[in-house]
Amino acid sequence: MSEIQSLGYMVLEVSSLENWRSFAAELLGLQIGSCTDTVINLRMDEREQRIQLVQGEKDDLFAIGWEFKNLVDLNQYIETLKSKGVVVNAANEELCLQRKVESLYVCDDINGYTNEFFTGPVYAPISSPFYSSKLIGDGFETGELGLGHALVVARDYQASVDFYTQKLGLKITDYIRDSSVFPGVTVDATFMHTKTGRHHSLATAAMPSAKILQHMMIQVKDLNDVGLAFDRMKAANIPVIMGIGHHPNDKMVSFYIVTPSGFGLEFGFGGIVVDDNDWHVKTYQQLSDWGHEFQIKP
Ligand SMILES: [Fe+2]
C-alpha cells in the first residue's frame, strides 16, 4: 500500500475570520495569503496554503489534508482504502481549486471531520516568498514533515486507533498513559506518524471535550521564536492552557494557548523525526518531563 507522506494542510471552520487574521499574523507569525470573503489562506512556507480558515459556525477542525508524492501513489492508496470498505470520493474541481491542490479525494473521519487525500499542492510565485513579520529564526518546520500535528478527540478510542492505523495506514509511534494530571483520570493518548516521520502527525485520546480538535501544533526552527511567541501571547492576554515545557516522547519544547475558536494550539520547537528502520514503540507515564504547568483546566 502506498503511504501518506505527511499532514499537508488543515482546514479550520472558524466563526470570526477577523479575529483569526490578527491572531495568526501578529501572534503566531504566520503569513496571510490569498483571501476571499469566506476564506483566509495562511502560509507557513512557499506553499499557497498550509492552514485554510473557512467561515462557519463550528469553530473546530473541518478537514485534515493528507499529502501524497504523486498521482500514482494517491490513486493506489485510494484503491486500497476502497478495498478496505472505506467510502471515499473524488473531489470536484471547485474544491480542488479552493484547497489549492491538483488532485483530491475525501472521506468522512470516524471523529466527525473530513480526511482529504491530495497531491500537487500549489506553490506561490518566486516573487512572493514566505515572509513572517514576527519570526526571527528560519521560519516554520514544514517541508517533507508537513505542517505540524493534530490531537483529535476520540469518540471511541480503540475504534479510532484502529481506523487511523488499519484503514488510513498511520503507524504507531508511542503511547502516553499519565494518571498524575487529573485525580482519578488517566490521560491515555496514542501518537501516530506518516512516512516522512514527524514524531506524530496525528494523535488521539478519549477525553471530555466540546471540540473535535483538542489542539493543533505548529513548529518553529528557532527556540527563541517559542519564547518570543509566548511573550506575545501574554502581552495580548491570550489564555494560556499550559506554560512552556518539554514532552518526553517527541522531545518538543512548547506551550499551549487558546485560539480564537476555543480549541488549543501548541507552539513548539525541536520535535524529533522517527526512522522506521530503527524505531521501537514505547509507553510513557508522563505527559511532560518538566513545565507545561496547567493554567486552564481542559
Ligand atoms: Fe501536541
pLDDT digits (tens, 9 = 90+) for 35-57: 999 999 999 999 999 999 999 99
- Structural domains present in the chain: 6-121 (3.10.180.10), 143-291 (3.10.180.10)
Please tell me the predicted confidence (pLDDT) of residue 182. Answer: 76
CA of 190 to the centre of ligand 1 (A): 11
Q: How far is the CA of 10 from the centre of ligand 1 (A)?
A: 15
Calculate how far, in angstroms, residue 85's C-alpha sits from the geometric centre of ligand 1: 30
Cell 490513486 belongs to residue: 75
Q: For residue 266, how far is its CA from the centre of ligand 1 (angstroms)?
A: 6
Q: How many residues does the chain have?
A: 298
What's the gap in Å between 69 CA and the centre of ligand 1?
Answer: 25
Question: Could you give phi then psi for residue 94, rounded to 5 degrees?
Answer: -60, -45
Judge whether 236 and 248 are in contact, CB under 8 Å.
Answer: no
100/230 Cα distance (integer angstroms): 31
Rounded distance from Cα 215 to ligand 1 centre (Å): 7
Cα of 216 vs centre of ligand 1, distance in Å, is 6
- Ligand 1 geometric centre to CA of 255 (Å): 9
Q: Nearest-CA neighbor of 10 among 99, 142, 75?
A: 99
**Ligand 1 midpoint to CA 223 (Å):** 16
And the C-alpha cell for 58?
Answer: 463550528
Q: What is the pLDDT of residue 41?
A: 98
State the distance from the centre of ligand 1 to the C-alpha of 264, rounded, in angstroms. Answer: 9
* pLDDT (0 to 100) of residue 297: 67
Task: List 90's β-bridge partners, or say none.
Answer: 105
* Cα 149 to ligand 1 centroid, rounded to whole Å: 7
Query: pLDDT in tens for each of the 298 residues of the chain?
Result: 799 999 999 999 999 999 999 999 999 999 999 999 999 999 999 999 999 999 999 999 999 999 999 999 999 999 999 999 999 999 999 999 999 999 999 999 999 999 999 999 999 999 999 999 999 999 999 999 999 999 999 999 999 999 999 999 999 999 999 988 777 788 899 999 999 999 999 999 998 889 999 999 999 999 999 999 999 999 999 999 999 999 999 999 999 999 999 999 999 999 999 999 999 999 999 999 999 999 986 5
**CA–centroid distance, residue 127 to ligand 1 (Å):** 34
**230: CA distance to ligand 1 center in Å?**
16
How crowded is the C-beta side of 125, counted as CA atoms within 13 Å? Answer: 3
Cα-to-centroid distance, 37 and ligand 1 (Å): 31
With residue 223 as reference, give the H or E element that holds it: helix 223-235
Give me 238's grid cell. Answer: 491570550
Give how far the C-alpha of residue 243 lies from the chain's centroid of Cα atoms, to the nearest Å: 20
Distances (CA, A) of 18 to 21, 32, 65: 5, 12, 24
